[in-house]
Amino acid sequence: MSDDENAKQICEKVEQSYQIIGRKWVALIIHTLMEEPKRFSEIHAYIPDLSKRVLNERMKELEEEGLVVRHVVTERPVRTEYMLSRKGTELGRALSAVERWADKWL
């Protein structure tokens, strides 16, 4: 692979990553899940301006991207929890640098 082809491939991957994290609410959802798995209602409570409809859409998108894992807990009462995958956790760590920048500069 030539240097030009390699650079183009890297640019495409960077653009794809910005398309994922640039969707409204995605970074906050990932931030919310960094500590521990949470139920849908807990995520919604943490981000109250996010409608349930949009949260549902984003959770499905994040699942499809392999960033979030949906887990059904079969204990009584049965509940569904969401947690970050390894891929999602690594993205969360990268976004932590943005959080530190925001805390310092905004």
- Model confidence pLDDT, tens digit, residues 55-65: 999 999 999 99
Domain 3-105 has CATH 1.10.10.10: yes
The fraction of the chain above a pLDDT of 90, given in percent, is: 79
Q: What are the residue ranges spanned by the domains of the chain?
A: 3-105
Q: What is the pTM of this model?
A: 0.87
Q: Is the dihedral of CA 85, 66, 17, 26 positive or negative?
A: negative
What's the rounded mean pLDDT across residues 42-63? 97
pLDDT at 25 > cutoff 90 = yes
Mean pLDDT of 12-40: 94
